[in-house]
Amino acid sequence: MKYLIGLTSKFVGLLLIVSLLVAFSTYRTRLIKVVPLELSIKPAVVTIVVPEIKPVEIIIATNRHEDFLNAIGFKESGNRYDIVNRFGYMGRYQFGKRTLRWLGFKMSKEEFLNSPRIQEEAMHTLLTANKKSLQKYIDKYGGTYHNGILVTESGLLAAAHLGGSGSVRKWFRTGKIRKDGNGVKITTYMTKFSGYKLVLP
């Protein structure tokens, strides 16, 4: 009987030791699995703040003064010096008699229509006068948008040719858009003839 008890005690002790070894082995295995996870590097979230950059519009006028004259002459008359429209406007740039008198060109209709030189002089004189009249608007608004239109010197002078410099000044003050006898808006000329490099005093 004592022998059985002693054997049982040894067996229980042996089972206890085996159990401890298994438990320790499992514990070590768990440690091996857990430690790398604890030492793993977590990804960092980096926020980069980029300052807002407002676009700046740079206008490079590549079209020459002569290109402007050809373009506006074509629009007005198909670049014909001898034409008169149904409203009585004459020549390549469609001058009215009142405008010619205001510029100091006093001559007959026939003399004006038969002289390309006089018509070119009249156009140069008108552009110069309109530039002087609109200079403060060119200086203040040139290269910027006003009433939704990009303002350029050539665009404003083309609009003044169509509707007079007074109509352009009024557009700046009130936004009112003048049309000519054919229903063409001065803002159409501002856009169509913008970006030319004019040679004027």
Looking at residue 150, its pLDDT comes to 97
Q: For residue 73, is pLDDT > 50?
A: yes
The pLDDT confidence band at residue 63, using thresholds 50, 70 and 90, is confident
Name, in order, each residue with C-beta under 8 angstroms of 167's C-beta and a sequence gap of 6 or more. 159, 160, 178, 186
Q: Which of 9-13, 29-33, 71-75 has the lowest mean pLDDT?
A: 29-33
Does residue 85 sit within a domain?
A: yes
User: Looking at residue 174, which CATH number applies to its domain?
Assistant: 1.10.530.10
- Name the average pLDDT for the chain: 82
Task: Indicate the range of 26-30, 116-120, 154-158 predicted with least confidence.
Answer: 26-30
Domain tally, the chain: 1
A 10 A CB-CB count for 199 gives 10
Give the lowest-confidence range in 28-32, 104-108, 145-149, 151-155: 28-32
pTM score, whole prediction: 0.69
Instruction: Flag whether 105 is in a domain.
Output: yes
Domain that holds residue 178: 65-192
* Lowest model confidence (mean pLDDT) among 3-17, 27-41, 60-74, 169-183: 27-41
Q: Can you tell me the distance from the alpha carbon of 141 to that of 136, in angstroms, rounded to the nearest whole number?
A: 8
What letters, b where the CB count within 10 A reaches 16 and e where it falls short, cover 92-131? Answer: bbbbeeebbeebebeeeeeebbeeeebbbebbbebbebbb
**Which two structure tokens, joined as six digits, stand for 53?**
């950059």
Is residue 182 a part of any domain in this protein? yes
pLDDT band at 21 (very low <50, low <70, confident <90, very high): low
103 part of a folded domain: yes
Residue 95 lies in a domain: yes
Does residue 4 fall inside a structural domain? no
Within-domain flag for 185: yes
Percent of the residues in the chain that have a pLDDT greater than 70, as a whole number: 69
Sign of CA pseudo-dihedral 61, 99, 73, 150: positive
pLDDT tens profile 76-122: 999 999 999 999 999 999 999 999 999 999 999 999 999 999 999 99
Q: What is the DSSP string of 63-81?
A: B-HHHHHHHHHHHHHSS-T
Instruction: State the Cα–Cα distance between residues 92 and 116, nearest whole angstrom.
Output: 8
Average pLDDT of 181-196? Answer: 96
Residue 58 has pLDDT above 50, yes or no: no
